[in-house]
Amino acid sequence: AQSVSQHNHHVILSEAASLELGCNYSYGGTVNLFWYVQYPGQHLQLLLKYFSGDPLVKGIKGFEAEFIKSKFSFNLRKPSVQWSDTAEYFCAVTPSGNAGKSTFGDGTTLTVKP
């Protein structure tokens, strides 16, 4: 069975600071990788995804993530955060072609101070 580990439970940054949230997974086969975001009072929504191809993927609102296969990592980055990025961020893994086996990390709460 796969597992997902998010290194930081709570991150506090000032506006304009750079962000990197760690995500590592364990699974022996090919995976699809996702970052989801949950803004206060809103439902989970997709931030970005990786299926294949260029390991550097860009998502909404200036976020990007890099898949490093050798490290089983899919870290989320943003060069300059805004107050509106305050939210909870979840990394998720799904084995390719196996829709039902999604596994989520425990999430990272990001607080951006204005």
Contact residues toward another protein (CB under 8 A) are: 4, 9, 32, 34, 36, 42-46, 49, 51, 90, 92, 94-100, 102-107
Measured from the CB of residue 25, what is the shortest distance to another protein in angstroms? 13
Residue 32: beta bridge partners? 94
Sign of the torsion formed by the C-alpha atoms of 64, 57, 107 and 7: negative
Distance of alpha carbon 73 from the chain centroid: 10
Nearer to another protein, 39 or 83 (CB): 39
Measured from the CB of residue 88, what is the shortest distance to another protein in angstroms? 9
Q: How many CA atoms lie within 13 A of 13 on its CB side?
A: 22
Nearer to another protein, 59 or 78 (CB): 59
